[in-house]
């Protein structure tokens, strides 16, 4: 019987949990504040170094999505590169976070970033990531599925290159956004906050197990983001996130009462349906294709730091007297 060899990956020594990237998504804000309390910062077998922070403190203070511009679109190399005088607050803050957690794409970047978000859409708990072969993030997701069987979960892959990635989690060597809903912006719901708290704790437990050398293999379904659907009409598909949308099925209702049907060429899965924050962009929903992913087993490898001492012959000059 053939046994697959585990993929060997470095220890996750430094991790970050971020809340308040959007200042009115309050589950992450309150969870990070709770985790920062001294009585909750005792060692619990999690990552060797865990940083918890509020990403956009000004927006949190004002309970608004952002102050000048969307912070979660500011982590491209263009924005976090050379400083610009008079730049919007969020671009300035993105550079601060890149210096703290990165630099992006470097060996010095933190090993793992979990960025906490809420959505008004009925999406349950979702991981959103740029890679469909980041085995660390995929294994964490599968661990949460096993530990929280009553919580609907999906892994959403946005096919964006590392060069073009724009969100906070892209700073880390591994990273994902944990998106949980439905929850109205500017308020907090007990069940949504509890699901986020449990999800973060299970993530920390998995990191501890991984660092201790455990490994396993898993299979699950992944949602591949295709595009977004723009409209200003009312919804007939409200709260039907991740239900299959077939060509010809009712999708919208106009304000005059007419039904607009989905005219796509293939059946796809709708999500982020009627997300409040996307109204300004005119985005009604996003569409995804489902596919099965086989994730290899992984095992932590400890890298020993070896210091090499370069031997240099130093000639001693003999002096017969004083200069």
Binding site residues for Zn(2+), as ranges? 22, 25, 117
Catalytic residue among 179, 224, 249, 266: 179
Q: For the chain, what is the HEC assignment?
A: CCCCCCEEEECCCEEEEEECCCCCCHHHHHHHHHHCCHHHCCCCCCCCEEEEEECCHHHHHHCCCCCCCCHHHCCCHHHHCCCCCCCCHHHHHHHHHHHHHCCCCCCCCCCEEEEEEECCCCCEEEEEECCCCCHHHHHHHHHHHHHCCCCCEEEEECCCCCCCCCCHHHHCCEEEEEEEECCCCCCCCHHHHHHHHHHHHHHHHHHHHHHCCCCCCEEEEEEEEEEEEECCCEECCCCCCCCEECCCCEEEECCCCCEEECCCCCCEEEECCCCHHHCCCCEEEEEEEEEEEEECCEEEECCCCCCCCCCCCCCCCCCCCCC
**Active site (annotated) includes residue 43:** no
Active-site residue numbers? 179
């Amino acid at each position: 019987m053939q046994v697959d060899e585990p993929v060997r990956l470095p220890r996750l020594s430094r991790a970050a949990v971020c809340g308040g990237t959007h200042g009115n998504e309050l589950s992450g804000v309150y969870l990070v504040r709770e985790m920062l309390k001294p009585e909750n910062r005792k060692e619990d077998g999690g990552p060797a170094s865990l940083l918890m922070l509020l990403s956009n403190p000004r927006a949190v203070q004002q309970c608004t999505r952002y102050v000048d511009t969307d912070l979660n679109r500011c982590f491209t190399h263009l924005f976090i590169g050379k400083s610009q005088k008079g730049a919007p607050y969020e671009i300035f803050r993105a550079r601060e976070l890149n210096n703290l957690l990165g630099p992006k794409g470097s060996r010095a970047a933190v090993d793992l970033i979990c960025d906490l978000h809420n959505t008004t859409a009925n999406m349950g708990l979702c991981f959103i990531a740029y890679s469909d072969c980041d085995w660390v993030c995929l294994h964490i997701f599968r661990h949460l599925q096993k530990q929280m069987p009553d919580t609907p979960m999906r892994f959403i892959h946005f096919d964006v290159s590392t060069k073009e990635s724009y969100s906070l989690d892209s700073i880390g060597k591994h990273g994902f956004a944990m998106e949980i809903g439905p929850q109205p912006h500017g308020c907090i719901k007990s069940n949504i906050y509890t699901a986020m708290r449990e999800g973060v704790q299970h993530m920390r437990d998995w990191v501890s197990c991984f660092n201790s050398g455990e490994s396993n293999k898993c299979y699950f379904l992944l949602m591949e983001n295709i595009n977004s659907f723009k409209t200003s009409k009312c919804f007939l598909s409200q709260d039907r996130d991740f239900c299959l949308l077939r060509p010809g099925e009712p999708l919208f209702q106009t304000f005059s009462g007419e039904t607009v049907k989905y005219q796509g060429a293939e059946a796809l899965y709708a999500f982020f349906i009627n997300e409040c924050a996307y109204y300004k962009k005119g985005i009604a929903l996003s569409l995804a294709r489902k596919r099965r992913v086989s994730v290899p087993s992984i095992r932590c490898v400890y890298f020993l730091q070896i210091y090499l001492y370069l031997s240099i012959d130093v000639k001693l000059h003999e002096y017969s007297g004083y200069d």
